[in-house]
Structure 1
Amino acid sequence: MLQGIIEEGKVNSFNIPVYYPHPSEVKSEILNEGSFDMNQLDVSQVNFYELDNGFNTAQCTRAVAEPLLVSHFGESVTKEVFNRFYKNVNDHMPKEETTVTNITMVLTRKP
């Protein structure tokens, strides 16, 4: 916005709501909904700092956000936005151990 790439109004009207539930919330919602039996639920921690220099974080974010960004801001700015995002992540990533929590489930659809 400050560099004139994206209009201020478009920035102010853009929002990606994100919520990271606790594993117990995920389990509860699946069981309450009732369509599936839960065969397995595993929670694991991944040491993200050892796996990433900022590139993987930027690419994961891009995989989720790119279609939303393109539809809201247009395709022309998306590549530049992610190039800047990668540099920003790379420059500011914590230099200590950072973990990410993964939830893996095995579900069987009830008849």
Structure 2
Amino acid sequence: MAWLLPLATVGWCRLTIRDGEARQVSEGAPGSNVHRHAGAIFVEIFCPGGAGTQALRLLADAAADVFRNARFGGVLCRVPSMSAIREEAPWISVSMSIPFQRDELF
């Protein structure tokens, strides 16, 4: 945990992408069958504790705005869900999950 000490004065975030199940949503000739892949993007935001939650809430709202119903290439994001704010010294944190889907032809 010593490597975390320099970070104790600034906020940081962790982004994780997890693929879920896929399903075929159309039928047709080879190369025109749509397979829909679902998954979730997880964003964890950390700010130094002891200074209130305003900075954390501002960062969380900004991150949610980036992903809410956004399209990135062939990825369609849905509505983010946020967890309750957690406090574990020296950090306060919040997590959000953003479901997504992407289509691929086979």
Provide TM-score, normalisation by structure 1.
0.29
Normalized per residue, the structure richer in helix is 1
Normalized per residue, the structure richer in strand is 2
Provide TM-score, normalisation by structure 2.
0.30
